């Protein structure tokens, strides 16, 4: 967890939750240099949000969903976290985790931004009130872009708003 410059406990802040991908799960130092995480960290002071980036050391976010839910539940109850401004994002395995966590507790989040991930389309009805912007590289050989397309479509056909931005010349590391 990191705090913006000038952080004060008597003020309310948005919370951005970042879920990393499988490539960084066994190496904490590698996670700290994750390009997507570094970009989110770079905007932190200017935008004034708290950043929570848990480390999934083995398995995947589905296997660690209960501890993740407990962590997010505890963090969102902190007196300086604005519960109306929780945002979730993640890349690759973290993109799947983003879809999953948003599906489980859509009312917790103000927005979701999955990168190169997928989810279970049948649960998309829970996401119709959540603004979603998903990203995927069309040359992705690790996670088929159809995963993002199917989720965005499933949300939208149910009346939600999931914007999908596809990068024609990028592969898996579209972040």
Sign of CA dihedral 143, 34, 174, 99: positive
d(CA 55, CA 76): 18
The pLDDT of residue 29: 79
Token pair for 135: 């990203």
Token pair for 157: 């056909």
- What value does the mean pLDDT of the chain take? 95
* Least reliable range by pLDDT among 40-49, 53-62, 151-160: 53-62
Decide if pLDDT at 28 tops 80: no
Cα separations in angstroms, 175 against 91, 123, 137, 144: 8, 25, 9, 15
* The model's pTM: 0.94
Decide if pLDDT at 57 tops 90: no
25 — pLDDT class (breaks 50, 70, 90):
confident
């Amino acid at each position: 967890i990191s705090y913006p410059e000038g952080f004060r406990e008597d003020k309310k802040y948005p919370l951005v939750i970042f879920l990393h991908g499988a490539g960084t799960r066994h190496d904490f130092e590698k996670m700290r240099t994750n390009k997507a995480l570094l970009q989110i960290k770079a905007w932190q002071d200017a935008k004034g949000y708290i950043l929570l980036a848990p480390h999934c050391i083995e398995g995947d976010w589905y296997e660690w969903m209960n501890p993740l839910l407990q962590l997010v539940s505890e963090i969102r109850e902190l007196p300086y976290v604005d519960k109306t401004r929780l945002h979730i994002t993640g890349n690759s395995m973290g993109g799947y985790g983003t879809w999953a966590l948003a599906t489980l507790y859509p009312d917790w989040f103000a927005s979701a931004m999955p990168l190169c991930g997928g989810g279970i389309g049948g649960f998309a009805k829970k996401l119709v009130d959540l603004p979603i912007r998903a990203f995927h590289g069309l040359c992705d050989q690790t996670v088929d872009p159809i995963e993002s397309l199917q989720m965005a479509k499933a949300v939208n056909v149910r009346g939600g708003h999931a914007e999908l931005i596809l990068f024609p010349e990028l592969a898996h590391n579209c972040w």
